[in-house]
Amino acid sequence: MKKFLPYAIILTFLISFVFVDNASANAKSTPVIQSVAKDTAVYIEPSVESAVIGQIAKGSYVTATSVNGEWTRIKVKQLEGYVETAALVSVKSEKYVVKQKGGTTLFTYPSPSAQKAGQLYENSMIFVYGSAPGGWSFVQYGYQTGYVATNSLKKPVATKKRVNAAKGAELHLTASPSGEVLGTLANKTVVQQYTTVAGWAYVEAGEQKGYVKVSELANIQIAGNKVYNKGVPVAKGQKKRVALTFDDGPNAKVTPQILATLKKYDAKATFFMVGPNASKNSAVVKQVYEAGHEIGNHTWNHPKLTALSTTTVKQEVDRTNNAIYAAIGQYPTVFRPPYGATNDKVRSVMTIPSILWSIDTLDWKHRNADKILTYVKESVKDGSIILMHDIHQTTANGLENVILYLKKQGYEFVTVSEILQ
């Protein structure tokens, strides 16, 4: 028995070493971005007795992993080593998106002559940790960090969506099928969507955040077949809301102009589409959807539904539903009866809300860009649903002034489904 004792001691040591090593590995912290509070030395090992391999200047940003209370492992571009924890301070990030057409360049240092660290696509969600002199921001995208020009960024606007994928939506670190998989969002999970880029949407749901395929999301749907002509006013102290709505499109020329104006001001809207236009302009339908706007059904032939049989009403609705589904893989979430004509017979066919309006700009009648704003000024209030048409050039011409006026009055622009909640 004695001859086995040395081996038992060795075996016990090895087992304990494995467990300690595993425990140490499991205890490792997730890397975070921190700022350097003072000029400090970088050591090759977590000890002042080890060799100094570089210096980090005050105000620099580093990727930091805690080793213990006294030492932190840092990485900044080509320099990696240990610094005293007291030399670092925590920093919070803010969400921004790249607004610059064609994207923006990520640099290793806040200078256009610095080494390029990568390229960020337009509409990419990034996290800004701080600024540097000369109009630069230190940002993070996935595992990439560096500096971008601050004027290439803008604050995002969140839109409430839900996961619409039977097996759930796979969450990625970056907007790419090859991006690291962070988890899966269960079907019907409600998320906040902040931006879309190349068919991917950046979303957040509690602690889960990342990119999912746009096709795996749907607008929040209000249940039932009720008829609405205005939205729900917000609680006192909150920002007032309006819903901009556009009927009869999409139009190959006018709708993209309207989308560009909405994008310029981070405004969301709802588009009530007629079947033939949705069918022949499917690429525009997709453009509307991927920009985060809501899509509604406005029938196939634009008839007065109250004069039709129940069967014909259903055909009008179903044909347009199918045309929209063919374009984006999602059915519309709201309905607008042509001329606002609805009754019990029409509602018996509907499984989604019917949306009327509280402000008719009469843009279809006067075809005058300036008059659109006149009608809005006369009647707008919190919860207003504004009716326009994305088939008239004059509407596209007048939209910017409408948005500018409403923004100045303190309104934000939401989809119909959002304003009903």
Residues belonging to the active site: 247, 389
Amino acid at position 37, single letter: A
Planar angle of CA 16, 19, 24, nearest 5 degrees? 125
Lookup: tokens for 420: 């009903």
In the DSSP assignment, the letter for residue 69 is S
Positive or negative, the Cα torsion across 194, 199, 200, 205? positive
| Rg of the Cα atoms in the chain | 28
Asked if 115 and 102 count as a contact pair (C-beta separation under 8 A), the reply is no
CB contact at 8 A, 161 and 203 = yes
Residue whose structure tokens are 């969400």: 95
Task: Give the phi and the psi of residue 11 in degrees, each rounded to 5.
Answer: -60, -45
End-to-end CA distance of the chain: 77
Residue whose C-alpha is closest to residue 104's, from 59, 142, 146: 146
Q: Which amino acid is at 124?
A: S
Cα angle vertex 187, ends 185, 190, to 5°? 70
Return the half-sphere exposure (C-beta side, CA atoms, 13 A cut-off) of residue 319.
16
Evaluate whether 239 touches 214 at the Cβ level (below 8 Å): no
CB-based burial label for 74 (10 Å; 0-12, 13-18, 19+): buried
**For residue 297, what are the contacts with CB-CB under 8 A and spacing of at least 6?**
272, 273, 317, 320, 321, 324, 332, 334, 335, 336, 352
Q: Are 350 and 225 in contact (CB under 8 A)?
A: yes
The Cα–Cα gap between 335 and 49 comes to 72
Name the token pair of 340. Answer: 């606002």
Kindly compute the dihedral angle of the four CA atoms of residues 122, 124, 129, 133, in this order, to the nearest 10 degrees: -10
**How far apart are the C-alpha atoms of 228 and 357, rounded to whole Å?**
8
Kindly state the DSSP code that residue 128 receives in the 8-state scheme: E
